[in-house]
Amino acid sequence: MQGSDGIALCRLEDIPDRAGRGFTVQRDGRSHDVFVVRNGAAAHAYHNACPHKGLNLDWRKEQFMDAEGEYIHCSNHDALFRIKDGFCIAGPCRGARLRPLPVVVRPDGGIEIA
Ligand code: FES
């Protein structure tokens, strides 16, 4: 769906704190798998493609986080990524990054990517 300033995904309250949710969006005439992680009042969006093998991170559907809700988790080979910048701190792609997407949380709680 198309929002006023970008592609509207959902509302902040639709995602539990320290959890993620996946979407398929149309952008530049192509389909993209993306996901959003909520961290309190903030949201961070990334392409749903692990820098290790390019696979979707949520091999277990909609499971984007580790058990503690501290790091983004790729369930294929257990890479861990920081929420704030997608930097990989453990796993086979240590030192690589998830590809970020510009994301905004509107005053009404709507989450959009540009
Ligand atoms: S595909 Fe993500 S860790 Fe291997």
Query: Please, which pLDDT band fits residue 5 given cuts at 50, 70 and 90?
Result: low
Which atom of ligand 1 is nearest the CA belonging to 92? 3
88 in a structural domain: yes
11 in a structural domain: yes
* Tokens read off for 71: 């790091």
Where does ligand 1 bind, in terms of residues with CB under 6 Å? 50, 52-53, 55, 74, 76-77, 79, 91-92
Amino acid at 69: G
Q: Are 21 and 62 in contact (CB under 8 A)?
A: yes
Which residues fall within 8 angstroms of residue 66, CB to CB, at 6 or more apart? 72, 73, 80
Query: Please, which pLDDT band fits residue 1 given cuts at 50, 70 and 90?
Result: very low
What percentage of the chain reaches a pLDDT higher than 90? 88
Count of structural domains within the chain? 1
> What is the structure's pLDDT at 14?
96
Cα 80 to averaged position of ligand 1 atoms, centre (Å): 9
Q: Is 95 left (phi over 0), alpha (psi -120 to 50) or beta?
A: left
14 in a structural domain: yes
* Tokens read off for 61: 């559907």
105 in a structural domain: yes
Task: Summarize the confidence of residues 8-29 as an average pLDDT.
Answer: 95
Quote the DSSP letter at residue 51. Answer: T
> From the centroid of its chain, how far is CA 18?
11
The range of the structural domain enclosing residue 106 comes to 7-113
Q: What is the pLDDT of residues 90-106, one digit of tens each?
A: 999 999 999 999 999 99
pTM score, two decimals? 0.93
Task: Summarize the confidence of residues 71-76 as an average pLDDT.
Answer: 97
2 in a structural domain: no
pLDDT at 55 over 80: yes
- Looking at residue 22, which CATH number applies to its domain? 2.102.10.10
1 in a structural domain: no
41 in a structural domain: yes
Q: Which of 92, 70, 102 is nearest to 83 (CA)?
A: 70
